[in-house]
Amino acid sequence: MSKKTWVIKLGGAVLNTENAAKALFDVLNEQQNAQFVIVHGGGALVDTWLKEAGFASAKHQGLRISPAEQMPYIVGALAGCANKQLMTQAISAGHKPVGLSLYEAGVTATQKLKALCLVGKCTSNDDSIINDLLKIGRLPIVSSIGFDEQGLWYNVNADEAAAAIASNLNAELIFMTDVEAVLDANKQPLHQLDTKHIDTLIDEGVIVGGMEVKVKTSLHAAQHLRRGVYISSWQKPENLTDLLEGKHVGTKITP
Ligand SMILES: Nc1ncnc2c1ncn2[C@@H]1O[C@H](COP(=O)(O)OP(=O)(O)O)[C@@H](O)[C@H]1O
Ligand SMILES: CC(=O)N[C@@H](CCC(=O)OP(=O)(O)O)C(=O)O
């Protein structure tokens, strides 16, 4: 029987809670009929590194404006420190991880919008080594640093990166963030969200910042994959177990 592939996006804040990522990697060990690709963020780490280097950092609709002179710090934080910190936890949970950028994972980046400087958007390059890694039992851990065909580097939002990889692999997609679910105006969890509801909540300013990027990206991914995509929290590893077993946790974004 061929194994189902799951792309799990881990928000960077998971790195600020000791052993949180290890607990999630432990859950993956229990799954016999599935294989996994981890795509991770690290926005909080980028904030710290840029601040310590004396840079001001601004966001536009949840995306970090990424001038060329800040890219060495952004790349260092995401493709370096965050990626390798996750590897330490994956190895300690018994996995054999391989750290990758989007390029090796089969996704090429191009500039998203001039005003955002080196923020990238994803295009497919079909030249992924992910399936080869999965076949030999390795765990791909992918940062959201991308490259274009000329070799320029880009800072890609990690939710968009995860959606692009899930599309390439036709995989299930789960976003693990720092809130249990998308919340309504009364801070109550929303179990399900579709296009109309998402547009209204964004217009009303209920869904903002990073969550705005996440729900928009989830909706595109759900439409492309033609199935639901989940948003839940990494704070409880049992959420991941439930999601992998097909139970409802957090918010389901439907096409
Ligand atoms: N309606 C909402 N429901 C839940 N979280 C929201 C909402 N609107 C904005 N947020 C914010 O979005 C954050 C998650 O987005 P983000 O920080 O980008 O996560 P990640 O780093 O995991 O990708 C939450 O911590 C919360 O502060
Ligand atoms: C363009 C853009 O905004 N890139 C993000 C990449 C990291 C990320 O998305 O991290 P989280 O998943 O932890 O939020 C950034 O620089 O913060």
Q: Which residues are annotated as a binding site for substrate?
A: 42-43, 64, 155
Asked if residue 128 lies in contact with residue 104, where contact means CB atoms within 8 angstroms, the answer is yes
The answer to whether ipTM exceeds 0.95 is yes
Note the pLDDT tens digit of each residue in 61-103.
Answer: 889 999 999 999 999 999 999 999 999 999 999 999 999 999 9
Q: Give 108's strand partners.
A: 123
Residue 234, classed as helix, strand or coil, is coil
Residue nearest to atom 12 of ligand 2 (CA): 41
Supply the pLDDT for residue 2.
82
Q: Alpha carbon 143 to chain centroid distance? A: 8
Residue type, 146: G
CA distance between the termini of the chain: 28
pLDDT at 128: 87
Ligand nearest to the Cα of 176, by number: 1
pLDDT, one tens digit per residue, over 2-39 is 899 999 999 999 999 999 999 999 999 999 999 999 99
CATH code for the domain defined by 4-253 = 3.40.1160.10
Q: Which of 99, 121, 159, 250 is catalytic?
A: 159
54 is catalytic: no
> Residue 253 pLDDT more than 70?
yes
Q: Nearest residue CA, atom 15 of ligand 2?
A: 43
Centroid of ligand 1 to alpha carbon of 96 (angstroms): 30
Distances (CA, A) of 174 to 70, 127, 153, 158: 30, 23, 26, 12
pLDDT at 124: 82
Tens of pLDDT, residue by residue over 198-248, are 999 999 999 999 999 999 999 999 999 999 999 999 999 999 999 999 899
Atom of ligand 1 nearest to the CA of 14: 22
What are the tens digits of pLDDT across the range 107-151? Answer: 999 999 999 999 999 998 777 899 999 999 999 999 999 999 999
pLDDT of residue 138: 98
pLDDT (tens digit, 9 = 90+) per residue, 45-57? Answer: 999 999 999 999 9
On whether the CB atoms of residues 21 and 89 are closer than 8 A, the answer is yes
* Distance between Cα 210 and ligand 1 center (Å): 5
Distance CA 134, CA 161 (A): 18
pLDDT of residue 1: 63
Is 43 an annotated catalytic residue?
Answer: yes
Q: What are the extents of the domains in the chain?
A: 4-253
